[in-house]
């Protein structure tokens, strides 16, 4: 279970655009654990490229086409080593013990991918954590999908249906949710998600992410419409338990349900979700 003709080792890959604020911290943390850093610039006009050059990155240009998966897949295609660590330009790897842990994982080569912890730093100083598939073999079958909220999960499920990616005790500190960094991101992502839903109206994940983003923006009525559509899609789905965000969806949709449906309909929906 190896990377084929790829050289043994780790390629860190990222896409970046006007990412100078945290880029030095991010690249410094990656340089300690990787054989190379591939940085794909999607149109910066700040010091992103200059910073990447100082850290010895292999720099590529890729025209932004409103598709995060396309840009990230292009970055993976430039990677020369047998494993890939996908990191955003506003994330910093906690490197205490990271190098030997990564070396052991790659030497074992037991599974195609691993989940890492993403620690989202909030304005309050609180940290919200979740897991994400960020470490995986450099295998052409493993690619990102979705124009936004991109993931390699679907390709892993398709080609390794019985594999359950383990969680590594590695953490990426993510600064993107701080208000000084989030300006404009919701609006940009909203436009991408609206196009995604228009193209794939029966995608549970697309509907869910659009509804949740609208809820985060305080647009509860619009959020409810999309989460109600998500509920209907889940109700017809025979494999809903395979969706890792099902519990989160039920909680948020339950909150928005109050006052937006007649009593009997609200009770019916809650009864259905209780059985999930």
Query: pLDDT for 163-195, tens place per residue?
Result: 999 999 999 999 998 988 876 677 788 999 999
* Structural contact between residues 37 and 31, judged by C-beta atoms closer than 8 angstroms: yes
Two tokens, residue 63: 């025209």
pLDDT number for residue 222: 95
- Same CATH fold, 184-274 and 7-178? no
pLDDT at 183: 65
Interval 215-238: pLDDT, tens: 988 899 999 999 999 999 999 999
177/147: higher pLDDT: 147
For the chain, what are the domain ranges?
Answer: 7-178, 184-274
Q: What is the mean pLDDT of residues 73-82?
A: 98
Separation between Cα atoms, residue 148 and residue 193, nearest integer Å: 7
* Domain 184-274 in CATH 3.30.470.10: no
- Candidate CATH numbers 3.40.30.10, 3.40.630.10, 3.90.1150.10, 3.90.550.10; the one for domain 7-178: 3.90.550.10
Q: Can you tell me the mean pLDDT for 18-30?
A: 97
Cα gap 191→172, rounded to integer Å: 27
pTM: 0.85
pLDDT at residue 1 in the model: 38
User: What is the per-residue pLDDT for 150?
Assistant: 94
**Both tokens assigned to 255:** 């909150």
The C-alpha atoms of residue 112 and residue 110 are separated, in whole angstroms, by 7
Round to whole Å and give the CA distance between 117 and 133: 9
Residue 3: other Cβ atoms inside 10 A: 20
Give the whole-angstrom CA distance, residue 230 versus residue 235. 9
Residue carrying the six token digits 């990271």: 98
């Amino acid at each position: 279970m190896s990377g084929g003709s790829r050289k043994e080792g780790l390629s860190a890959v990222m896409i970046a655009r006007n990412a100078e604020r945290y880029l030095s911290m991010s690249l410094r943390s990656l340089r300690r654990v990787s054989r190379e850093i591939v940085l794909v610039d999607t149109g910066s006009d700040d010091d992103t490229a200059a910073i990447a050059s100082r850290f010895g990155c292999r720099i590529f240009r890729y025209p932004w086409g409103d598709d995060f998966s396309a840009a990230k897949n292009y970055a993976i295609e430039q990677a020369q080593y047998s494993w890939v660590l996908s990191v955003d330009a506003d994330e910093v790897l906690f490197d205490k013990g990271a190098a030997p842990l990564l070396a052991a994982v790659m030497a074992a080569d037991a599974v195609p991918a691993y989940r890492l912890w993403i620690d989202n730093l909030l304005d309050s100083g609180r940290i919200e954590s979740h897991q994400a598939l960020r470490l995986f073999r450099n295998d052409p079958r493993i690619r990102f999908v979705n124009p936004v909220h991109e993931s390699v999960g679907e390709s892993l499920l398709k080609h390794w249906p019985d594999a359950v990616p383990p969680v590594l005790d590695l953490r990426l500190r993510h600064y993107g949710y701080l208000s000084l960094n989030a300006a404009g991101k919701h609006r940009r992502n909203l436009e991408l998600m609206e196009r995604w839903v228009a193209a794939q109206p029966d995608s549970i994940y697309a509907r869910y992410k659009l509804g949740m983003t609208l809820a985060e923006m305080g647009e509860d009525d619009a959020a409810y419409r999309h989460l109600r559509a998500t509920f209907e899609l889940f109700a017809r789905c025979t494999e809903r338990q395979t969706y890792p965000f099902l519990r989160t969806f039920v909680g948020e949709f339950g909150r928005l349900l109050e006052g937006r449906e007649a009593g009997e309909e609200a009770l019916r929906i809650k009864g259905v979700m209780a059985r999930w």
